[in-house]
Structure 1
């Protein structure tokens, strides 16, 4: 596992976990994309993807990042909030957390753990450091090199498909 892990979510068209499990998910909701399972671990973070409708097609409309430096929300239209306060790109939140924009994609970088990008089309890509292998939870999987065990819910039980797995990972603090 020399390469960092990549996970992509383009609602309605494709989903690829860190370990290359694939499928499609379309339901509008707020999902845990990826998180460090243990909140006491240094560099802890929890990244949520807000999937909604864009011209009758599902798209990721916003990302919400919980991390020790700040609570960050970025929207596809390049609006950014840091701890609930509107911010202007680029944003240097702390020595480890920054938000930038290149070619229409908004990038949240938390060094050295991960980089997450939200494109104007509503696609999210997350790249994680390889030392996070087996420490991750969420729809992107645990990044242990085994795609067969990626379709697990928060309770650790395997589910039937990507749709069921995504449903299991709806963020309980945001979903009604």
Structure 2
């Protein structure tokens, strides 16, 4: 068996005896042992690897919180400088805490904004956008296909979701609103309007405009009020192009093809 850094193989290993959480809280370790890797003397298991004592995190609320690494000394007034850390939200998002180097477990008050709700996603408690609860909620899904003979990919169908509307448009500018075909120009509601400008179909709302050209181009234009409040293959519209290559959940992506793949609509069958 090959053991990771700062550990060694033992026929009778008990990782619980050298656990970071056990440094600040009494743990009931099992009496039996098992074949595996044991941390070297002076190193402790943090749930993923064996680390030195100064790299151990915090054990609070009957949970172990790993230390967030920072490249600077802990500020005197940590509450004013918490933005430099990655805080953990607790108590229905009313408290944000960090396990900081040398400073232990430090907490401050927290509240979610009006357009956010406190919930758990992928095991993480966080303030998330209310999404379809908001009156400004919208979602644009583009179905693409390879066009013969050269195999160039182009939009095949466009789906646009709003709070109370579901709109579909195909490449021939046929439009369906909530499953029913409509003729263009068309006014779906007081705010949702369709028009044909040359060979381009334009769907207009106060917060967003979506156009589909006969050449296969799709363009989404959103109101400046939604700056930084959107996500997807087009980026987050925060006027900083350096952070647009992010997949769902804020995962960093290296290139555009992988970015598009990461935002594949899982509720649609692949074309």
So what's the TM-score if we normalise by structure 2? 0.49
The answer to whether the Cα contact below 8 Å between 2:132 and 2:163 also exists between their aligned partners in 1 is: no
- Offset at residue 37 of structure 1 (A): 7.1
Matched, 1:76 2:171: yes
- Aligned-residue offset at 1:98: 1.3
Structure ranking higher in helix proportion: 2
Report if aligned partners of 1:107, 1:115 keep a CA contact under 8 Å in 2: yes
1:44 aligned onto 2:137: yes
Larger radius of gyration: 2
Q: Distance in 1 between matches of 2:180 and 2:218?
A: 23
- Aligned-partner Cα distance in 1 for 2:189–2:218: 23
- Could you say what the CA RMSD is over the residues aligned between the two structures, in angstroms? 1.5
1:147 aligned to 2:249?
no
The one of 131, 134, 138 equivalent to 2:228 is 134
Q: Distance in 2 between matches of 1:72 and 1:65?
A: 5
Structure 1 length as normaliser, TM-score?
Answer: 0.75
Cα deviation, 1:92-116, whole Å, max 9, x if unaligned, reads 1101111111111011112x11111
Q: Tell me the CA shift for residue 139 of structure 1.
A: 0.5
1:27-176 matched pairs, under 5 angstroms: 38-55=131-148, 56-110=151-205, 112-176=206-270
Alignment size in residue pairs:
140
The structure-2 alpha-carbon separation of the partners of 1:37 and 1:58, relative to structure 1 and needing over 3 Å to count, comes to farther
Structure 2 spans left out of the alignment, 5+ residues: 1-128
Distance 1:103 1:123, change over 3 A: same
Contact 2:194–2:202 (Cα < 8 Å) also in 1: yes
The gaps in structure 1 that reach 5 residues or longer are 1-35
- Contact 1:106 1:117 (8 Å CA) reproduced: yes
Secondary structure at 1:96 match in 2: coil
In structure 1, distance between residues paired with 2:145 and 2:130? 26
